[in-house]
Structure 1
Amino acid sequence: MDNPANGSWRELLGLSYAPVAVVLAGGVLMEASNVYLTTSLLPTIVGDIGGTGFYAWTMTAFLVASVISSMLVSRILITRGSMAAYLLAFGLFGLGSLVAAVSPGIGVFLAGRAVQGFGGGLLAGLGYALIQRALPERLWAKAAALVSAMWGVGNLVGPSAGGAFGQLGVWRPAFWLLVALAAVLMVVVVRVIPRTERAAAGSAVPGVSLVLLTAAVAMVSIASIVPAGVATAVVLVVGLVLGVVFVLFERTAKAAVLPRVTFAAGKALKWVYLTVGVLAFGIGTEAFIPLFGQELGELSPLLAGFLGAALSLGWSLSQTVSANATRVAVIRRLIVGGPVLLAVGLAAYSALQVDGPAAWVVALWFVTLFAAGAGIGVAFPHLAVAAFSSVEDAEEAAKASAGINTVFLMASAFSAALAGVLVKLGEPSALSSAHLLLSVFAIVALLGAFPAWRIVRSGVARKADAPQLTH
């Protein structure tokens, strides 16, 4: 039952606060469902407007833009106020959806995806940032739970909608629907979101870091379209070098993306971030799973869409169970076991890839992907606590925890770009592409057990009493 002192679900969803809850949760739901809506529709999209070689770029463009905007949420909220911030977020998301809906070719579609990503990154951040400003304190916990739940709902809504449109052989109406929803929510924002005061930003924009990071991801993405061989290797090396330069710059930069304590000697935060990065790396396979499902398994767009969401569904559900763990020994096993389970799930899914599989094999595809996602979910809540525990200052602890989502988005962007390279190297055989992509990602996931072990050895893994993290 609800504790009246803490507010109730009936109050949050009642006439007084329901419109605000709809905006906060609706923005996150649009961001979450859009990811799976698009991956479900990608085979139909490239079949219509071409651009198979840029398949991975549809996710990379979205993720890179989301990384940038997610780091600007606080700044935009402070300098522009809550209403303007939300109108900007929904406006950009709607504009990007509009550009995608009318795109004649893959180039324009990618531009739309980037604009969508920028707006989506703002929506995801504002969904949490506005809880304190738009609702009374007694409803904060319920509102946070509602917003967090939208990622799980998006796991179902996105593939369902994308698969339904794909089943009909159309994709543009799906993006027109997103335009309409964004417009409706903008009207609701004007009516219900309380205005907040504006102030000067407290810190500079980490411009150099953002440029280095974007350039690094862009170079890896370019590797998926240049001729295979020496050119691919050169572009990948340049991307790797830019990534190293980004890390080196972050160590001494006054305006940085990551908290300064990340690089302090004797602190466990760097191992937390490395583990988060490895877990996030597994997400890079999602964009191609519906494609493999349709080409190898001959699945309908609807079923292939759900197959693509199986990994994230495993993540969303498992973290709700894992967060209940209280024994230190169990928590430590979950942290180390997370990357291992992710690796085993991806490796098993790779081993099951065949042309024209039997129904029981397809069923095992869902099971292995769900297990891989569970590897992310069982470790993630406890990584948040490890981030808190790795520093003593309360303000730095908050920054350290916030950095987890930033690292997750950065790693997701890199993995989406690398996934495109690996799939290209396996062409023209979809089976070879699937084996190469999933095997490499399984190896990377297994390597994540080392930084996870270092977290455990540092002694910062404690009771999971922090809020759950979401993607």
Structure 2
Amino acid sequence: MVTAEQARPDWRALWQSGDLARFCFISLGIFLHATNETMVATIMPAMVRDIDGVEFVGWSFAVYEIGSIIAGAASGRLVSLVSLRANMVIAALLFMAGCIVCALATAMPWFLLGRLLEGFGGGGLVALAFVSVERLFPRLIWPQLFAIMSAIWGVSAFAGPLLGALAAEAISWRWAFAASALIGCAMAAASFAVLRMRAALTPAEPQSRPSFPFEVLACLAVSVILIAIAGLAIETVRSSLLLITGLLGVGLVFRLDARRPGARLFPSRPFDWRSPVGTGMTMIAAFSVATVSFGLYAPLILTNLHGMPLLTTGYIIASESIAWSVLSILVANAPAHRERLIITAGAFMIAGGIAGFAYAVPQGALPLILFSAILQGGGFGIAWPFVTRMIVAAAPPEERTIASSAVPTMQRLGYAVGAAIAGIIANAGGFSKGLNAETAAGAASWLFVAFLPLAVVGCVAGWRTARNL
């Protein structure tokens, strides 16, 4: 029998043994990934003024998410082929290469290539950080390490806008990517130097290596790109056909995935509303698609339409992530009988944030924009942990591991699809003609109003999920 005192981790001993030092280096990958997202949102207005291509803004986020999804799916399989240390080094170098390409980009196509490489590297580093916890550290301290990861997300959300705004306003937006490239290089060197234990130098057991879902991920990438292409030159027939084809392709992703029982990314019935798995996954998908417009286009609109400084818009974006982290920690120990209320409240908070943006962003009402960002991020923070737990608990025993990993994958898929659709809306609103106050005003409201029906779907799905508790 292990007493509570014996079960308490000895943090000083863990630091002296080097376990926590190694974890700090591993967590640098999470810091890179999270910082990059808010940094890019902050510098986007300065970047598009320099190299043009505002009509491709949705692409910049979509290709990053596609790269992250592919890297996340590949990471768990690659550690059975090559060592964890080699995977970490390669992912960090890919991230560094992407940052260098973005920093040197003279046109939007080159910038998009850099973002794709960043997605491969950043998504791989995040996935490998979770793999590292399982392979390198004692089970006793896993909860503490995951809590540290959550704290790192909050710190990173705060650091990203600061780095981006300081670089863009003092020197050039390119130096923000140059700084990220240096950190990526340091991450690669640290991984090579620090990860010397046997578990980090030897591949996983061969029997843990499932096949790779090539056709599923290829279908996903093509589908998102088709949706994004629909927004480049808005023509009713052409854009509608591309959008419909892309959405059908997204549906085909789940059909193809269901035919691969040995390498699935999602549960067998991800949208079956007769099960908490289906309602929970629907809630995650709907809200992920519906909320991407804020982080993607709010800085462009606020700086060009209302003249807000880059740093201000960056920290408004960061406030959403900070609210997510803080409220997630605050409700982590909520009693079971409160979970139904928390999930429902979280869903309506997210929908309320989207509705608030639809009014406040076009008006430039800074206090209401900030409140809506906190409302949206806080809604995610309180609802997501409990919805995730319900999905995993309701899944068949043989699918619980898949269900657990499917939640972040579905979220990133929603972000990629949402970014592509938001690009269509923004370009139809005027961004295809260039970036100025007039085009920003034309797109400001529709970028949020158009997603309100999906927010309603998310609320209904959240309510149905809560009923199953």
TM-score normalized with structure 2 length: 0.91
One-letter code aligned to 1:450: V
* Equivalent pair of 1:13/1:21 in contact (CA under 8 Å): no
* Superposed displacement of residue 236, structure 1: 0.7
Residues 416 and 354 (structure 1 numbering): CA distance in 2 closer, same or farther, change over 3 Å? closer
Question: Are the counterparts in 1 of residues 339 and 466 from structure 2 also a CA contact under 8 Å?
Answer: no
Match of 1:468 in 2: none
Match of 2:455 in 1: 445
Q: Does 1:136 align with 2:138?
A: yes
Say which SS state the counterpart of residue 29 (structure 1) adopts. Answer: helix
Write the distance in 2 (CA, Å) between the matches of 1:282 and 1:264.
Answer: 20
Q: Say whether residues 1:187 and 2:189 are aligned partners.
A: yes
Partner of 1:312: 321
* Aligned residues of 2:99 and 2:177 also touching (Cα < 8 A): yes
Aligned to 2:54: 52
Deviations 1:395-421 (A, max 9, x none): 522221111011111111111111111
Which of 199, 202, 214 is equivalent to 1:197?
Answer: 202
Q: After superposition, give the CA deviation of every residue in 1:418-459 in whole Å (9 maximum; x if it has no partner).
A: 1111111211531231100111223311221222222233x3
Who is 1:177 aligned against? 179
Instruction: Considering fraction of residues, name the structure with more helix.
Output: 2
Q: What SS class does the counterpart of residue 260 from structure 1 fall into?
A: coil
Distance 1:304 1:120 in 2: 23
Conserved 8 A contact 2:69-2:413: yes
Specify which of 415, 418, 428 is matched with residue 415 of structure 1.
Answer: 418
- How many residues align? The count is 452
- Contact 1:263-1:270 within 8 A present in 2 as well: yes
**Aligned counterparts of 1:14 and 1:430: Cα–Cα separation in 2:** 54
Q: Distance in 2 between matches of 1:289 and 1:161?
A: 18
* Equivalent pair of 1:64/1:214 in contact (CA under 8 Å): yes
**Would you say 1:212 and 2:219 are equivalent positions?**
yes
Q: Aligned with 2:187: secondary structure?
A: helix
The alpha-carbon deviation at position 158 of structure 1 amounts to: 0.5
Deviation at 1:18, TM superposition (A): 3.9
Question: Where in structure 1 are there 5+ consecutive unaligned residues?
Answer: 462-471
2:408 counterpart residue number: 405
**Is the 2:157–2:322 contact (alpha carbons within 8 Å) kept by the matching residues of 1?**
yes
| Aligned residue in 2 for 1:326 | 335
User: Post-superposition shift, 1:392?
Assistant: 4.4
Which residue of structure 1 lines up, in the alignment, with residue 429 of structure 2?
426
Identity between Structure 1 and Structure 2 (%):
24
Deviation at 1:3, TM superposition (A): 5.8
Kindly provide the amino acid, as one letter, of the partner of residue 115 in structure 1. Answer: L
Corresponding position: 1:303 with 2:312: yes
1:7–1:139: 8 Å Cα contact kept in structure 2? yes
Tell me which of 244, 251, 255 is aligned to 1:248.
Answer: 255
1: distance between equivalents of 2:423 and 2:133?
A: 37
Deviation at 1:186, TM superposition (A): 1.5
Quote the RMSD (CA, aligned, Å): 2.1
2:357 to 349, 354, 358: 349
Assess if the C-alpha contact under 8 Å between 1:278 and 1:411 holds in 2: yes
2:386 matched to which residue of 1?
A: 382
Deviations 1:269-310 (Å, cap 9, x if unpaired)?
Answer: 121111111222244121111112212231111111112223
Partner of residue 433, structure 2 = none
1:337–1:449 Cα contact (<8 Å) kept: no
Residues 345 and 262 of structure 1, relative CA distance in 2, 3 Å threshold: closer
Find the counterpart in structure 2 of residue 121 from structure 1. 123
Unaligned runs of 5+ residues in structure 2 are: 431-437
Paired AA for residue 349 in structure 2: L
Alignment of 1:201-280 (within 5 A): 202-254=209-261, 255-260=263-268, 262=270, 266-280=274-288
| TM-score where L is the length of structure 1 | 0.91
Supply the distance in 2 between the matched residues of 1:228 and 1:262 (Cα, whole angstroms): 33
Maintained 8 Å contact 2:43/2:168: yes
Q: CA contact under 8 A between 2:216 and 2:256: conserved in structure 1?
A: yes
Query: Is the CA contact (8 Å cut-off) linking 2:271 and 2:279 kept in structure 1?
Result: no
Is this contact kept in 2: 1:36–1:159, CA < 8 A? yes
